[in-house]
Amino acid sequence: MVYQKLTFLLFSLSILLFSCAEDSYKPVDPTVKPELGELKPVDLPKLKHYQLENGLRVVIVENHEIPIVSVYAVFKAGVVDEPADLEGLARMTTRLMEEGTSSKNSEDFASSMEYYGAKFETHADYEAITIGVTTLRENLEPSFELFSEMVLSPAFDQDEYNKLRQREINHLKSYSKNPGAQANRLFLKILYGGHPYGHSLLGNENTIPRISLENVKDFYRKYFVAANGLLVFTGDISTALAKRLADEYFAKMIKGLENLHDYATPPNDKPLKIYFVESSQKEQAAIRIGLIGIDYYYPDLHSSILMNNILGGYFSSRINSYLREEKGWTFGIKTKLVLRQKPGPFFFAGTVNADKADSAIVYVLQQFKEITKIPVSDEEINNAKGYLSGRFALETETAEQIAKKIYVLLRYNISPDFFENYRRNIMNVGKSDITDAANHIIKPHHLSVVVVGPPELAKKLKKIAPISIYSEDLIPRY
């Protein structure tokens, strides 16, 4: 009897709650975009600086909300420091550092990482190499010891290197036939020629076999030194503990010399031209359209970031909305504004239906030109501001995310308030600012267009601009 009364009471209560919810429910019109709310501050933790006697800079950012710590060692080196005939050397060096230390072979090192639940990562970019570990606070010290071994005493074992090199060669054999990979590789070569920015992160099937273990060791000895490095601690760690760990494990690091990275940038003086790679791929065409853009130090950076997003930097952007949503010619495209010490590439990247490639190219060229002439709409600028503002908040939540933003600031000597004021500066950009930024970056008559697609596409492309034809091996035909 008691059970029946309790059941009836719960049933009655559920009916009452449902009725209240129904009365308070307000339908949402999915076709109406919500207005931007009040901009709430994103409080980034303060940076604390410390330096070891050997010159290694240490930065500590305390954030005790979650018991997780991320530590990154960053070195001013990368693809730009590779000899032209050894493309891929920076990446091969960092990849080999994952394959064991002087006290642990690759299997033992991997088992130790798994035992402590630590996430280790290495990455070689054009101008920075990063090695990181993210771990629970309770496992910090043993995880940091493994991390320090990885940075300071990699095994560089010949057998492990031979296996790694063969894996990379096998990967490149298939990857080099990918239309997107072919487009990327040729596009960078067209833009930058022999400049280091024209190198491939992965290297290529000709350079990787040339790289010896001794080349790897020389690269490591030259650039993995204290004067050229930075150690970043973020998360649930005290300043005192961070200093102790840095002193205990990294004081023995060789001082060495700082890498100055002094190189010029080729001018944007190439006339509009199409570089077409005849591919066995019949259904789709990989397209890259762009030119050399701006660097981290360009004074109107926030306007340029917004301009890129409006044009093709996110899903609701102008070009993606037309090519994907309206026409259905692609699964998705992007425009990218790559920032480095010297001007990086600004470009459109996408894969479209081969029979619509010429129409897609004409449309993109038209949009590149229009954004330099016609002010963007209120809707476009407000949507892009909302996207960038919201995404920034989501990208500064974890210790790992904060660490990555910090080492970008420090690697490129950017003012510490860049990220603190980022959202405010984005929101303050006006429509005329975007037009000005577009005019500074985009020169419609100096765009390079790379297309990888079926041979019959060439006839259509010749109607758009002058054309050069390449084989699948990226060898010029005419």
Closest CA to 352 of 447, 288, 272, 274: 288
Would you say residue 251 has pLDDT above 90?
Answer: yes
Least trusted range by pLDDT, from 18-32, 105-119, 450-464 = 18-32
pLDDT of residue 135: 96
pLDDT of residue 3: 39
The values of phi and psi at residue 469, to 5°, are -105, 135
Q: What would the mean pLDDT of 97-104 be, rounded to a whole number?
A: 94
Which pLDDT score, from 0 to 100, does residue 124 have?
97
Q: What CATH class is the domain 273-470?
A: alpha beta
* Residue 25 pLDDT exceeds 60: no
At 334, list the tokens: 């992007």
Q: Which helix (H) or strand (E) holds 320?
A: helix 318-320
Average pLDDT over the chain reads 91
Q: Does 302 score more than 60 pLDDT?
A: yes
SS3 343: coil
What pLDDT digit, counting tens, does each position of 26-66 carry? 555 655 666 655 666 566 678 999 999 999 999 999 999 99
Overall average pLDDT of the 292-320 stretch: 97
Contact predicate 337/294, CB 8 Å: yes
pLDDT score of 296 more than 90: yes
Q: Please name every residue paired with 337 in a beta bridge, in sequence order, or none if there are none.
A: 346
CA nearest neighbour of 286 among 395, 155, 185: 185
Q: What is the mean pLDDT of the segment spanning 334-345? A: 96
Please compute the mean of the pLDDT values over residues 412-426 and round it to a whole number: 90
- Superfamily for the 48-250 domain: Metalloenzyme, LuxS/M16 peptidase-like (3.30.830.10)
Percent with pLDDT over 70 in the chain: 91
User: Is the model's pLDDT at 12 over the cut of 60?
Assistant: no
pLDDT for 137 equals 97
User: Residue 162: phi, psi to the nearest 5?
Assistant: -60, -40
> Taking residues 118-136, what's their average pLDDT?
96
Q: Is the pLDDT of residue 19 over 60?
A: no
Residues 225 and 237: beta-carbon distance below 8 Å: no
Kindly list the domain boundaries of the chain, sorted by start residue: 48-250, 273-470
Given a cut of 80, is residue 108 above it in pLDDT? yes
Q: What is the pLDDT of residue 31?
A: 58
Does this model's pTM top 0.85? My answer is yes
Is residue 16 scored above 90 in pLDDT? no
> Which pLDDT score is estimated for 416?
80
Asked whether this chain's domains 48-250 and 273-470 adopt the same fold, the reply is yes
Q: Are 134 and 68 in contact (CB under 8 A)?
A: yes
Mean pLDDT within 175-199:
94
State residue 463 phi and psi, 5-degree precision.
Answer: -80, -15
